[in-house]
Structure 1
Amino acid sequence: MDDAPDSHASTPPAGPGTAPDSLRSIGLTKIGEGRFKATNARGGETFMGTGGEDPDFTPVELLLAAIAGCSAIDVDLITRKRAGSTTFELTSEGHKVRDEQGNHVTGLRLSFDVQFPEGPEGDAAREALPRAIAQSRDRLCSVSRTVQLGADVTYEQR
């Protein structure tokens, strides 16, 4: 990954309300036929592929995981102030379709199964859960908010 000062010289300008340290990026490298490795600036790696024989996530599955992970982090941060969860499971799903608009995903849905211990702290966390989910959906989760609001994607050849 190129960390040179001008490595993002062609990055589209940020919009209003953008902090100077707002840029996020990954590098993607082909590692085999239909297989790619994504690497972040901290050295983390994940793999993606076409969904054939290899177990790698497809790009659509990574989108679903990103939405689920983003919302899960939000909801957990809010509810754990009251009580830690005893169960925290989340399903993220959507339909990959091909129509007159081209390929895209429709009907995105998150389904939360979050349980808390018995007692006053657990009761407080259960009470906060619906609001936490709504805050993630309506304001906090950058990934789902980007999908909901839409974002321009610029393609370029280097």
Structure 2
Amino acid sequence: MTTEKRQVRIERVAAGRYVVRNERGGTIPIGGDDFSPVELLLAAIGGCTAIDTDVATSRRTEPTEFTVTVSGDKVSDRETGNRMENLTVSFALRFPEGEQGDAARAMLPRTVALSHDKLCTVSRTVELGTPVRPVIE
């Protein structure tokens, strides 16, 4: 087992509006008309598996369509707190006709399963139920 520290910073830019920054200079706005934290969770789950799948299949051929939709039900429960349930990651991928497209299509189920079962850090973390520890500095 190896470990590698990852981190983002979230800074308030206005009432109800924030920006996430990573160490490489990337930014994502949160709040207002931008992404909500739940939408970012869904994006992280889908993005992780999308990247794994794209890397593997596009070695065979470029897709003609590549769309991943992530959905779930936001539950508000007084006893157990707010959470997401029924998370689903749906793939709409198309590849050109021919031998290379056939090869990409053939490997798609295995690639998606491998990402879900082993590679995608985000969905693996959610499914394993990793505790989150809040700290006030």
Shift of 1:18: 2.4
* Residue 39, structure 1, aligned to residue 6, structure 2: no
Corresponding letter in the other structure for 1:103: N
The percent identity for this pair of structures is 49
Shift of 1:83: 1.4
Corresponding letter in the other structure for 1:31: V
- 2:69 corresponds to which of 65, 74, 91: 91
* Residue 127, structure 1, aligned to residue 106, structure 2: yes
Shift of 1:138: 0.6
Corresponding letter in the other structure for 2:63: S
User: Looking at CA atoms only, which structure, 1 or 2, has the larger radius of gyration?
Assistant: 1
Alignment of 1:58-97 (within 5 A): 58-97=36-75
Corresponding letter in the other structure for 1:30: R
- Corresponding residue pairs, total: 136
Residues 68-100 of structure 1 show CA distances to partners (whole Å, capped at 9, x for unaligned) of: 110100001111121111100010001111112
TM-score by length of 2: 0.96
* Residue 137, structure 1, aligned to residue 121, structure 2: no
Corresponding letter in the other structure for 1:153: V
The DSSP-based 3-state class of the residue aligned with 2:30 is strand
Normalized per residue, the structure richer in helix is: 2
Where does residue 33 of structure 2 map in the other structure?
Answer: 55
Structure 1: gaps of 5 or more residues: 1-16
TM-score by length of 1: 0.84
CA distance in 2, matches of 1:128, 1:59: 33
**Moved >6 Å (runs of 4+):** none
Structure 2: gaps of 5 or more residues: none
CA RMSD of aligned residues (A): 0.8
